[in-house]
Chains A and B, each alone.
Chain A
């Protein structure tokens, strides 16, 4: 089980403070999710090429060496800036080729995300530890999706932490427990969708990935999810320019929204929102079940 946080700043001036506002929100969800934490930030999209958030799992990794090797093998320039077990790789090479090259040359690396706007971090540890490890407080951008995890059925490993991603500039976090994840997985695998973990949240993410691959817009995909995804869930989804929030019909997993002229903030419990600027005057409400809420950055 888990805690969810989300933040979208409406006032451009607040983009510089996105991370600083978000860190206390995540720490507020430590009791709900003490095992691991993750965060996806969406910032100004690259003009060309893609960026990849990479995770090595090991304490240190020769990230610059990776960029050099990419250039050496494929004659395409790349920049790879990393700290500790995480890096952001930027290159103009087609994403399919990049993924293939990484799989062949660095099979132990995890590609956490791919896109023009998204950077993604996730690791084991308390939210506070993870936030400090990657310096979440200094992150800037238009919107972010965060998660704190208490593992239910799958193991506590970094790759099972949320957010999960699909395609480009898409991520999902989940509070709840799906009751038909394995059936979903088997169905989606026959559709050629590839799974990385046995985590039930990944099943939901891949379902949406499949629907969007088949041409559904996000809202339609989520709508179909009401029929196909069984169990209890609050989902928070981030795309290049949107945040989407949805609760299942039972609405057993909590969610609360605080909205001002400057931002929209979402969390599992109010105490994560209590210290946001001007929250006293915010419009505070709980999202209705089976309704899709979308905010555009």
Chain B
């Protein structure tokens, strides 16, 4: 069929039907009428005809511009300028504020209103300017995005006013029915917090306050109560002790107050003490190789159950030497008699100038320790019970009673403040069972931690850098904690909560008022509630409460009279206030030790076994409170150099007997509780023992810390209402092949000369002893021209006798220089980015001298030398860029990305580096670090630099390095520049000590000294002239800029003496 449609012709006008020539013509044009384009173009001053060149120009420009514009996404910059500049803030200039952390005063460095670094407060009598690793890392905790952003009520996000209403309703109910309320807090030494809690306790007579610490020191205070009727922890003075004896007390690493003790300890051992040819003598009896034990002159490995028997034997030995009658002993233990005799002899020879400390949490052992110290006349000299310490105050028995009554259903309300017993209480299961019977569970934690997840109400606490508080570390010392930033999230301090709830109760308010000065809009919009409030007023702000407390009583208590405002400002400026210490009297122990000895022996027998496990705090993670801090997780353990993990450290001999090796998994069974840990063979570990670090294996702490390591708290032994950190155990071997992320896995020095040490007697005879130098300066052959050394020439010295190896410097360096955290896998691949590391070497303590070769460690079992591995010495050596004058890295860089500055610095120019890594290969010290990946904004490295909040901690003075470039220690060149500028503005020459590197600033041991070598009066110049000073790998002729001061051990044998001739 034909399609008729195709044939139809349409026409649209008559012109189409009868086309005229004009119409035909007009059809060819686009527009019916001509558009006066030319006239228009001319009217705006352009040529009618576009020349070819112009066309090409426009075309070129157009294409070029379009291409360029398409090249990159236009970056969105979010910068908010100060509308009104705060008076004290100058952009680009840091402000420092005093505050305090864990018992000592600090300075907080802030930039443009955000705290970015913790510095030691040099005036603080506790720390004397030192800060430990957790202190350095604490600033990162402020920017932890894992914290709660708003309060939570019954599992849902809420507001503070709703939270207050909810809590108040319950609390009032309990009060009415006289049902028990408990506040469970960590050690509180803040006088104002105590007062705030006191207000709450006043308002609720049915409430009781319990202090709980997972790592308990309650035995010490209980023992002092028993011995001297003073329930306090004394102040220890290691700086007055010539003989120091530690029994499982890691006082340099984690015990009680490590920053304070490190300062005291090294003051008797470092350069200044040695100049007067004196040095303290340190004996350590311990189970695992602790940081303290690794620094001891004599270290004796004992099973943890022998802590008590060793002290008993020591007491008897001292008594014998002092002509006092000893204690009659019942049982026999296998004890290191020779060591005990030697120790006792030394102690008796230094009566009144010695100190015995024990880390046990057994009251009877602590009583015995008191008796020994009393026998040695140490009270009033090295132990001060008058100006006592308030650093730790907890009571195990009270807490365990509470758990009991909780399980009996006798407690209705519980408020957790700064504690996490679901995670860190030994019998967490019972605790959780009991918790279910509590009708109001309030957690004042800053995050949804293990305990908070089981609570009805979570009122996020503030970070210490956001909040006002005060602390009282010693009976005669108080320090202030001032906020350095507005609270980041909708948080409220615990103290404010206590004040509010007390106030509401007293004023019979069932509901809330405006809660905090920085309360979010959320609660303010809740206007119906606000207007419904009675006009009785508001609870006091905690800051006002704190101020009035200082005004009314604390200043007076500290012996400070006069104008409050002046005093207050001085306090803020100085950070702390110290009242003159009272004369400390010599107290004598006069109790009968018979029953004590019996208890000790009984406990020792009960916990003794073929294999015993000891639980300890690691230097970085401590009790687990800071487990979400990637800086701390990546800080290598000082002794084992393991990062991101805990493990069971076992001696080689035990491993051989149990057929275990490094990386085997083993099930540890204590009292029926089983936990699996990887095995790490540890030199120095006592035979038949295993040591496990607490604080790991968190499940609800945050993205960095969750499931790192295993939780060892369930293995805690609960004996007679106290926490005991050791017990006999069964080991059941399991799978093998676990790999640790260690930053060092070669532990011997191979007979090389980078570590130099001597013994005190040799040093006294010849100060050059062990340093490989003599009093004649040798002329060194040199293939290179000498650089002119004009102006400043920066240099450093590190006193190996002061350095304890704690690693605070590493974290300080990370914080100062924006060093990336790379995570466990990357550390395992030996790619940690730390600019500063601490090398650790072991050597055998035996007469044969240096046994430090890998080959010596082979087949120890066949040679029957497994015992040797228990008796080892440790050598720590901080290693960072040596800023060599003839740097081998500089000659090989093809693009001159690493060069020498006129001030003796070896500089790294990140912009110019394209990453051949030749410099790192050619560095004999292996201190250069390569950016294998992009470590920021990269989900593979989900730490602070992949987090908008976490990035707030970055130091704006230091570039964040991009992928593919080399980086390394710069001697904190930004601090040098800042110091020089400051001096220039002041019109003064730069003073020695005005510029301190971050590692030097934080070092609690004062081991690092930095300064201008060209200034002959500078401390560093003087130390470089010290007889002990030597340079590492001096024989290579690279002219390193860091002098190391030979380590001096106070003992008889010469170990590992550096041999001048090779092989």
The answer to whether A and B belong to the same complex is no
Q: Which residues of B contact A (CB under 8 A)?
A: none
